[in-house]
């Protein structure tokens, strides 16, 4: 009896929040406390749940600097100097740091304090309580391990400055543990490390913003177009090199940021040495409209001018079930439902193609490895442990990795002759391009990038590379994500400011001037 192979790909991503030695937003620290420290250690303990851990270097470099080089963030700075009631600037900044709804609603004290903070001025004592609770809720998975945390979760307020500082010290401990656990788990049998390009750019748009017209005919596009496939290649190469230097593993695979792929993007990945990548099932069916539903469970070879690359397609319904459905379920019930759905897929594959198809098929479950656990009462620990236990006795299912799937099987996989540009968001690219705000940003980025290219032989090499580094950072997907009308965040001004700061610093390096002036973007 052949089992159905299942691949779990957990994607860990944060953009680069650093500017001049400080992180302007604290999400790397807070996610490390709640998710990375817990999950990286847990994956090292599970023996039947094999996984692919996909990390983005823009996250890794910040995690490393927090853990080993003293990187701080603006939220820490405000917390360490909270001796009086907040000023207007502090209030405005802290309002951007609202914890996810499940974390607020899980703790009534947090919900009450946040409502009070948002409704008007607060005194110094309430301000300290707001500061502490806003950052305490991220440590809830560790409240049994650290008795002091457990005590704080039962207090309604009256916290002192020293207690706030102690919480931040605990965050530092967990940051170090997160990096140590990741460095260890990637060498464990059953874990594959993959990565995304350095700053998490939408590769098809970096290669050519005109590619969006193929997935969205009639979409308004920026002029001049942005066409720098070499930047895409460079972001891929540097990502693989950094993982090798930091973690001692050269990733063979690469999750395409936002699941965004195109023929040119895959060509640049292949040129960078990437053997496999993954995207959403929508890209298979947009590229092959007549393909049967079950074909998404077969990895496909794609041939590029720079070599062959294997493309996996994620099962959207099963991936979304983990991220959006099972959080409110009992772990055992969720695992039972999930595995029954997998067994139904196995049965359908056998019915249509015979049992031998299981030698080539693999169900890819790919999703965000951090946000998905916010709605789980124990941050997903119960689900993952129950799944690991279930897999111990279920012979019809086996977890594996992308590397293991393609090992020795590349020549037997079907080929994909056409690949339409698109992403995991409806198979299109309009989330990152097409509105007036999007296009203005792409046009500005294109003008600065063209100027830098003209100065390649005129600027000192180190200055030219530093100017390029800021433009590579500006190519990241997150700035463009938050300009989409479908999305919103209180922290949008910080994302826009970082984008503009990178462009401005690049200009100043080209002009030989020092200092940075924030220039607002005009749509």
Q: Where does the pLDDT of residue 484 fall: very low under 50, low under 70, confident under 90, or very high at 90 and above? A: confident
What is the 3 state secondary structure string of 428-467? CCHHHCCCHHHHHHHHHHHHHHHHHHHCCCCCCHHHHHHH
- Note whether 173 and 142 are within 8 A (CB): no
Pick from 141, 161, 16: nearest CA to 471: 16
How far apart are alpha carbons 516 and 459 in whole angstroms? 19
Whole-number pLDDT of residue 488: 85
Backbone angles phi, psi at 8, to 5 degrees: -100, 125
Assign 415 to helix, strand or coil. strand
pLDDT of 54 strictly over 90? yes
Measured from the Cβ of residue 418, the count of other Cβ atoms closer than 10 Å reads 9
Q: What's the whole-number average pLDDT of the chain?
A: 95
Q: Enter the pTM of the model.
A: 0.96
pLDDT of 410 strictly over 80? no
Pick from 292, 301, 254: nearest CA to 414: 301
C-alpha dihedral, 237 to 241 to 247 to 253, nearest 10°: 30
Q: Which residue has the tokens 């099987």?
A: 409
Whole-number pLDDT of residue 515: 40
pLDDT of 518 strictly over 80? no
Whole-number pLDDT of residue 337: 98
Region 260-270: mean pLDDT is 98
pLDDT of 514 strictly over 80? no
Q: Where are the domains of the chain?
A: 435-511
Longest dimension (CA), the chain: 71
CA angle 262/406/276 to nearest 5° reads 25
Q: Where does the pLDDT of residue 520 fall: very low under 50, low under 70, confident under 90, or very high at 90 and above? A: very low
Instruction: Put the strands of the sheet holding 18-19 in their side by side order.
Output: 18-19, 22-23, 72-73
Residues 6+ apart with CB under 8 A from 154: none
Q: Where does the pLDDT of residue 521 fall: very low under 50, low under 70, confident under 90, or very high at 90 and above? A: very low
How far apart are alpha carbons 237 and 144 in whole angstroms? 42
Measured from the Cβ of residue 291, the count of other Cβ atoms closer than 10 Å reads 18
Region 488-504: mean pLDDT is 95
Whole-number pLDDT of residue 408: 73
Pick from 182, 183, 161: nearest CA to 81: 161
Whole-number pLDDT of residue 83: 83
Assign 192 to helix, strand or coil. strand
CA angle 216/221/224 to nearest 5° reads 145
What percent helix, strand, coil does the chain show, rounded to 5?
55, 10, 30
The pLDDT tens digits for 93-120 are 999 999 999 999 999 999 999 999 999 9
Strand partners, 415: 301
Whole-number pLDDT of residue 359: 94
**195: exposed, middle or buried (C-beta count within 10 Å: 0-12, 13-18, 19+)?**
buried
Which tokens hold the place of 364? 């890819």
Residue 253: enclosing H or E segment and its boundaries? strand 253-255
State CA 45 to chain mean position distance.
23
DSSP state of 226: P
pLDDT of 485 strictly over 90? no
pLDDT of 516 strictly over 50? no
Strand partners, 308: 303
Overall residue count recorded for the chain in this entry: 523
- Note whether 185 and 152 are within 8 A (CB): no
Pick from 365, 22, 57: nearest CA to 200: 57
Assign 165 to helix, strand or coil. helix
State CA 233 to chain mean position distance.
19
Strands 300-304 and 307-314: antiparallel
Half-sphere exposure (Cβ direction) of 465: Cα atoms closer than 13 Å: 4
Region 444-472: mean pLDDT is 96
């Amino acid at each position: 009896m052949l089992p159905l192979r299942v691949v779990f790909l957990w994607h860990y991503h944060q953009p680069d929040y650093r500017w001049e030695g400080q992180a302007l937003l604290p999400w790397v620290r807070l996610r490390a406390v709640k998710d990375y420290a817990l999950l990286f250690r847990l994956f090292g303990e599970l023996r039947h749940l094999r996984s692919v851990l996909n990390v983005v270097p823009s996250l890794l470099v910040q995690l490393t600097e927090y853990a080993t080089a003293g990187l701080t963030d603006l939220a820490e700075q405000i917390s360490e100097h909270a001796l009086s009631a907040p000023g207007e600037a502090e209030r405005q900044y802290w309002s951007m740091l609202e914890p996810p709804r499940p974390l607020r609603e899980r703790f009534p004290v947090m919900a009450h304090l946040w409502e009070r903070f948002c409704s008007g001025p607060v005194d110094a004592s309430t301000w300290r309580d707001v500061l502490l609770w806003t950052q305490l809720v991220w440590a809830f998975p560790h409240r049994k391990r650290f008795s002091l945390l457990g005590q704080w979760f039962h207090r309604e307020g009256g916290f002192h400055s020293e207690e706030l500082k102690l919480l931040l010290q605990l965050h530092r401990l967990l940051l170090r543990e997160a990096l140590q656990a990741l460095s260890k788990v990637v060498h464990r049998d059953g874990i594959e490390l993959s990565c995304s390009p350095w700053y998490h750019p939408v590769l098809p748009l970096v290669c050519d913003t005109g590619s969006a017209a193929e997935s969205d005919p009639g979409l308004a596009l920026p002029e001049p177009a942005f066409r720098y496939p070499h930047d895409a290649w460079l972001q891929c190469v540097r990502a693989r090199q950094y993982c090798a230097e930091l973690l001692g593993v050269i990733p063979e695979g690469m999750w395409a940021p936002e699941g965004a792929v195109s023929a040119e993007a895959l060509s640049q990945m292949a040129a960078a040495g990437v053997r496999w990548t993954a995207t959403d099932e929508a890209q298979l069916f947009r590229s092959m409209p007549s393909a049967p539903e079950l074909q998404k469970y077969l990895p496909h070879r794609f041939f590029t001018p720079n070599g062959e690359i294997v493309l996996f397609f994620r099962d959207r319904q099963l991936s979304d079930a983990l991220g959006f459905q099972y959080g409110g379920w009992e772990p055992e019930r969720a695992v039972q439902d999930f595995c029954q759905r997998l067994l139904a897929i196995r049965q359908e594959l056998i019915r249509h193609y015979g049992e031998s198809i299981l030698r080539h098929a693999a169900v890819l479950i790919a999703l965000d490895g951090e946000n998905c656990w916010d709605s789980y009462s124990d941050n997903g620990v119960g689900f993952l442990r129950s799944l690991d236990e279930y897999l111990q006795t279920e012979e019809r299912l086996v977890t594996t990795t992308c590397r293991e799937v393609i090992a020795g099987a590349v020549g037997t996989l079907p080929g994909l002759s056409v690949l339409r540009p698109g992403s995991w968001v409806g198979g299109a690219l309009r989330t990152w391009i097409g509105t007036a705000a999007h296009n203005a940003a792409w046009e500005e980025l294109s003008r600065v990038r063209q100027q830098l290219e003209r100065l390649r032989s005129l600027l000192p090499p180190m200055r030219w590379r530093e100017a390029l580094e800021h433009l590579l950072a500006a190519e990241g997907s997150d700035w463009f994500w938050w300009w989409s009308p479908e999305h919103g965040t209180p922290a949008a001004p910080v994302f826009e400011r970082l984008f503009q700061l990178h462009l401005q610093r690049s200009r100043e390096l080209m002009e030989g001037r020092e200092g940075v002036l924030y220039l607002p973007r005009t749509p």
